[in-house]
Amino acid sequence: MGIVGNLDPNQLEFFKSEGYLVLECFSSEDEIKSLRLRMEQLLDDFDCSAKASIFSTKNQQHTTNDYFYESAEKVSFFFEEKAFDDDGNLKQPKQLSINKVGHALHELDPVFKSFSCSEKSTSLLCSLGYKRPVVIQSMYIFKQPGIGGEVVPHQDNSFLYTDPPTCTGLWLALEDATVANGCLWAIPGSHKNGLVRRFIRDEAGVHFDKPSPSYDQKDFVPIEVKAGALVVIHGDLIHQSFENKSSTSRHAYSLHVVDTDGCKWAEDNWMRRQVDPEPLTETAVVEIWSTGVLTCALFVSPCSWDKAGSAKDDSTS
């Protein structure tokens, strides 16, 4: 089956110049409902007394623990920093305490896999020039009402580095994302300045190789979107999100994709896989020139459902 890239020249031009692109109505209401429902089930099954790890983009401490490293190939739950009281007890139900679930929902859970490996997602990557795209991580991000933590300015290529860099973020809004509930913000065009720093894993743990530059907040623009919109994020785009101080959550499902053809995965990335991830497509890319516009078709070897099912139980038990 051939999949043809689905972005039109104007969309590609916008992405090239601004470093991001909003695709309204990328997902139907039914698709969003099924992703949200599935997450509700996973949360209901999650025994929060056994596994507690906090996710913070400011404090790197969490990243030295095995729970974080092992989440690369699991469905793991990370709490909001502000979820606990002084005695270490949750201040609200677990459903309102989780910051994110990651990082292999796209491989291990059939509902999330279905979206992640869908023809429309693969087609997008085809448009962006991927030859052998791999979803390298997935995150369900809650941005909980009142306590949803900030995500400090960053570039995705810092965390998921290939040489040359090839990371793209696909961020699906599962609820309306507004300035009030902590939508994404980005510096348009900032991807043109290249990668600023890397997040390295070594014997000592994880650290950035350089300090963060200080950014001028007035250079950022809010990316407010309706539920169902997909925000495509260039790997070098500086983006962030603020705390959610509102009473409304802001759920999103975020995928990060890298190429595995024509580039090399960096061994010192935080993520080290025991098993190589399966590509969304096999490499045959046919380029068709019609009316002066380059169209490409990827010949797809769809992700295998059978392989996904077996690992799921391990990771969620």
Q: Which residues bind ligand AKG (CB under 6 A)?
A: 141, 143, 151, 156, 169, 171, 184, 239, 241, 252, 254
Measured from the CB atom, the residue of 269 and 296 that comes closer to ligand AKG is 269
- How crowded is the C-beta side of 11, counted as CA atoms within 13 Å? 15
Q: How far is the CB of 142 from ligand AKG (least distance, A)?
A: 9
Distances in Å between the alpha carbon of 304 and those of 176, 218, 310? 32, 45, 11
- In this structure, are residues 133 and 259 in contact, taking their beta carbons and an 8 Å threshold? yes
Cβ at position 305, least distance to ligand AKG in Å? 25
Is 43 or 160 the residue whose CB approaches ligand AKG more closely?
Answer: 160
Please state the closest distance from residue 183 (CB atom) to ligand AKG, in A. Answer: 8
In the complex, the smallest distance separating the C-beta of residue 214 from ligand AKG, rounded to whole angstroms, is 18
By beta-carbon proximity to ligand AKG, the closer residue of 132 and 239 is: 239
- What is the smallest separation between the CB atom of 16 and ligand AKG, expressed in angstroms? 19
Structure tokens that stand for 169 in this block:
């973020």
Amino acid at 161: Y
Q: How far apart are CA 153 and CA 33, in angstroms?
A: 30
Please identify, using beta-carbon distances, which residue of 46 and 140 lies nearer to ligand AKG.
Answer: 140
Contact call for residues 98 and 77 (beta carbons, < 8 A):
yes
Minimum gap (Å) between residue 239 Cβ and ligand AKG: 6
CB 87 to ligand AKG: min, Å = 29
User: What is the SS3 string spanning 196-250?
Assistant: CCCEEEECCEEEECCCCCCCCHHHCEEECECCCCEEEEECCCCEEECCECCCCCC
Smallest distance, ligand AKG to C-beta of residue 101, A = 13
- The sheet with strand 151-154 has its strands ordered as 151-154, 239-241, 184-186, 221-223
**In terms of CB distance, is 31 or 156 closer to ligand AKG?**
156
Gyration radius of the chain's alpha carbons:
19
Rounded Cα–Cα distance for residues 317 and 313 (Å): 6
Judged by beta carbon, residue 154 or residue 296, the one nearer ligand AKG is 154
Rounded CA separation 250/170 (Å): 16
Which helix (H) or strand (E) covers residue 22, if one does? Answer: strand 20-23
Distance in angstroms (rounded) separating the CA atoms of residues 54 and 78? 5
DSSP letter (8 states) at residue 84: B
Which residue lies nearer to ligand AKG by CB, 117 or 184? 184
Q: Toward ligand AKG, which CB reaches closer, 184 or 230?
A: 184
Residue nearest to ligand AKG (CB): 241
Name the minimum Å distance from CB 52 to ligand AKG: 21
**Of 213 and 262, CB closest to ligand AKG:** 213
Q: Which residues contact residue 302 at a Cβ distance below 8 angstroms, ignoring those fewer than 6 apart?
A: 117
